[in-house]
Amino acid sequence: MNKQNLSQFDPEIYQAIKHEQSRQEENLEMIPSENFVSLPVLQTLGSILTNKYSEGYVGKRYYGGCEFIDEVEQAAIDRAKKLFGAEHVNVQPLSGAPANIAVYFALLKPGDTVLGMDLEHGGHLTHGHPVTYMAKIFNFIRYKTNDKGLIDYDQLRSVAIENKPKIILAGYSAYSRHIDWKKIKEIADEVGAITMADIAHIAGLIAGGQMENPVPYFDIVTTTTHKTLRGPRGGMIMCKEKFAKDIDKAVFPGFQGGPHENNIAAKAVAFKEALQPDFKEYAKQIIVNAKVLETEFKKMGYTICFGQTDNHLLLIDLTNKNVSGKEAQKALDKAGITVNKNMVPGETRTAMDPSGIRLGTPALTTRGMKEEEMKIIAGWIDEAIQNKDNEEKLTEIKNKVVELNKKFPLYPELE
């Protein structure tokens, strides 16, 4: 066995990790699907649990020596149930996309219809975009937002009545408003559809009591465990007990092999963190910070898609600024501010060079930044976009970003 430290054995990878650590320390991470895990979560991910194979489920493993693995996985399940009020939880999905795919295979036959949110209007690739393999197997149809930026529930109902989908899927990756879970449940009951919610982006806001929880109403709820939930990169499926057996079989052995128990243990640690009283304050501050950004961008004449934000993210249409999302992302990278280019409703450009940018506040809030910092950052973003071709100006902003971040150290224990 190699007894050397990483820095001794593989300085190339070690240096890449250290450079990424510096990038995260010095930049403003504003991609809304990104966050910073705690030191206990980091430690758990790098634990010796990575050595153990544990195909199967708690008390029903195919390999021996899983008694302590069972303790870890059961703790993750129990904490998730408590956090969301779920009847059944599967913590083995490797990420959000595999979780969604496992649900499809558990409940659908090839050719069955799923009604999900249009990608341009805030949906996710795994909700049936034509580029995905799932779209070749199942029939995905889409609902959209209306002129006010809200989900058009009348259109959703009309499409559901006309097409009789097997599943109605609610959830998003770029939509910034509340979802009326009860209304969608009513529509689903009317047409005899199974309800599925993808709360990957807002799981932490739900756990923190700041957004409504679909678990009491919906049959299936999937999520990632990173993003606002601030855990390791992974997935999870929650469901009513009547679907439990089919869901578990779809995850293993249907779709995945041995679970990553180091990751599941890190999920358990993150769930424990989310059960603490201060997590509610964190979730609340995420939304407060996002609302400050909204106010500042509106003052500066930016177009906020969907009218406003009710959660952790903003989707901004840059058309009236004569800048593409790709150009803005590139300029902001140089200024030390990380966002992502994104399509907007009624997109007229391409997915790789769209009209908008998507940004959010989970990671900045984790660092301890609040309203005053958001006002400053909004100004820097505007300045960078206006000076997208001015390298000197972008470097000047970058230096200011670095100085601000020094006041909010990320991992002082790792220095």
Strand-strand pairing, 337-338 and 28-29? parallel
| C-alpha closest to that of 142 among 161, 126, 128, 125 | 128
Per the annotation, the verdict on 145 as an active-site residue is no
Question: Residue 237: beta bridge partners?
Answer: 90, 222
Identify the active-site residue in 166, 233, 367, 398: 233
Please name the amino acid found at residue 236: M
Per the annotation, the verdict on 233 as an active-site residue is yes
Identify the active-site residue in 198, 296, 317, 327: 198
Identify the active-site residue in 10, 34, 55, 396: 55
First to last CA, the chain: 27
3-class DSSP string for the chain: CCCCCHHHHCHHHHHHHHHHHHHHHHCEECCCCCCCCCHHHHHHHCCHHHHCCCCEECCEECCCCCHHHHHHHHHHHHHHHHHHCCCEEECCCCCHHHHHHHHHHHHCCCCCEEEEECHHHCCCHHHCCCCCCHHHHCEEEEECECCCCCECHHHHHHHHHHHCCCEEEEECCCCCCCCCHHHHHHHHHHHCCEEEEECCCCHHHHHCCCCCCCCCCCCEEEEECCHHHCCCCCEEEEECHHHHHHHHHHHHHHHCCCCCHHHHHHHHHHHHHHCCHHHHHHHHHHHHHHHHHHHHHHHCCCEECCCCCCCCEEEEECHHHCCCHHHHHHHHHHCCEECEEECCCCCCCECCECCEEEEECHHHHHCCCCHHHHHHHHHHHHHHHHCCCCHHHHHHHHHHHHHHHHCCCCCHHHC
Answer whether 270's CB lies under 8 Å from 43's CB: no
Identify the active-site residue in 113, 145, 223, 224: 224
Per the annotation, the verdict on 198 as an active-site residue is yes
Please name the amino acid found at residue 215: V
Per the annotation, the verdict on 53 as an active-site residue is yes
Identify the active-site residue in 14, 53, 153, 217: 53
Other CB atoms within 10 Å distance of the CB of residue 192: 10
Identify the active-site residue in 185, 227, 358, 367: 227
Answer whether 9's CB lies under 8 Å from 337's CB: no
Catalytic positions, written as ranges = 53, 55, 198, 224, 227, 233
